[in-house]
Amino acid sequence: MIERLWRIAGWLGVALTLVLSLGPPAFHTDLHQGDKLTHLAGYAVLMFWWAQLITRQRWRLAAAVILFGVAIEFLQSLTPNREPDTLDALANSAGVLLGWLVARFLPNLPGRIAALPALRR
């Protein structure tokens, strides 16, 4: 059951990423290029989340998430309120690598959650 909920939450994360990336800008930071931190963090979470479910050939998952980020940057060129940015795509890719690294140190989180005594009853 935990794995199913994890998968549903993962797809919601993909949808949220798509909506936030193609809709009007929702966040503003006073830091120069501060939005790159948002890109880095968002894609790190996305990669980490899915890496908990896809444990073999994670390089394929990483490639898919990077391509997702690149596709979003392209789609932004078709919207009136966004514009594509190569640095955003690079920040997305760096986030994917960070998420992959963290997933190596925290493997099988859904399984660990399912094994908690309170959830085994």
Domain count along the chain: 1
Q: Mean pLDDT for the chain?
A: 91
Task: Confirm whether 64 is domain-assigned.
Answer: yes
Task: Confirm whether 52 is domain-assigned.
Answer: yes
The per-residue pLDDT for range 2-43, each reduced to its tens digit, is: 889 999 999 999 999 999 999 988 777 677 777 899 999 999
Q: Which residue from 98, 109, 111, 113 is spatially nearest to 46, judged by alpha carbons?
A: 98
Task: Confirm whether 77 is domain-assigned.
Answer: yes
> pLDDT confidence of 120, banded at 50, 70, 90?
low
What does pTM read for this prediction?
A: 0.87
| Predicted local distance difference test score (pLDDT) of residue 119 | 65
Residues 78-88, mean pLDDT to the nearest whole number = 93
Give the whole-angstrom CA distance, residue 66 versus residue 109: 22
